[in-house]
Amino acid sequence: MSVNLEQFAASNKATVDSLLAVANAALVTAERIAALNLGAARSALEDSASVTKAALAVKSPNEAAALQTALLQPSVEKAVSYSRSLYEISSESQQQFAKMIETQFADFQKQVGGLVDQASKSAPAGSENIVAAVQSTFATANSAFNNMVSMTKQFTEAAQANIAAATKTAAKK
């Protein structure tokens, strides 16, 4: 069994394309997080200026207490909103990376499966046990990967549900 130059070139091109897709996805995520952080910083600066002006206008302890109470709820809501947005960006990126990995592994499974089939057809007589062992190992690796993907999805869904519940609870307070 030999690998021809076209297969090698196609494999290299696919690898480069995959790396570029991962790099692009990482940059998009970084841009989204930077935009979120800049927005939060801008909002914090504006809020700080408003609070300072309002504090300078306070003339009694009752007004100060009322101002503090009035400022508390919007701050909590903004913190919850920021956390929710950051989580959404992270979650979407994780899902995108997971899909990329699944696609890459599916392609890898097809390639290796084809190689195993080709090797089993051209294997010399008497090597049936070795071919069966390789096929079994390949099937076990595929099963393990599929189990890992399933567990990761379950973990992600549970984490999303927990964060949604925590966000809902924090927003109510």
Domain boundaries, the chain: 5-172
More confident site: 156 or 60: 60
Burial class (CB in 10 A: 0-12, 13-18, 19+), 147: exposed
Q: Kindly report whether the global pTM for this prediction surpasses the value 0.75.
A: no
Query: For 103-154, how does the pLDDT look when each residue is reduced to its tens digit (9 = 90+)?
Result: 887 887 777 777 777 777 777 777 778 878 877 887 888 788 778 777 777 7
Which pLDDT score, from 0 to 100, does residue 4 have? 61
Cα–Cα distance measured from residue 107 to residue 118, given in angstroms and rounded to the nearest whole number: 16
Query: For 41-66, how does the pLDDT look when each residue is reduced to its tens digit (9 = 90+)?
Result: 999 999 989 988 988 888 998 888 88
Query: For 75-89, how does the pLDDT look when each residue is reduced to its tens digit (9 = 90+)?
Result: 888 988 998 899 899
Cα–Cα distance measured from residue 132 to residue 127, given in angstroms and rounded to the nearest whole number: 9
Question: Residues 6 or more apart from 133 whose CB is under 8 A from it?
Answer: none
More confident site: 23 or 11: 23
Which pLDDT score, from 0 to 100, does residue 1 have? 44
Distances (CA, A) of 48 to 62, 66, 67: 21, 17, 13
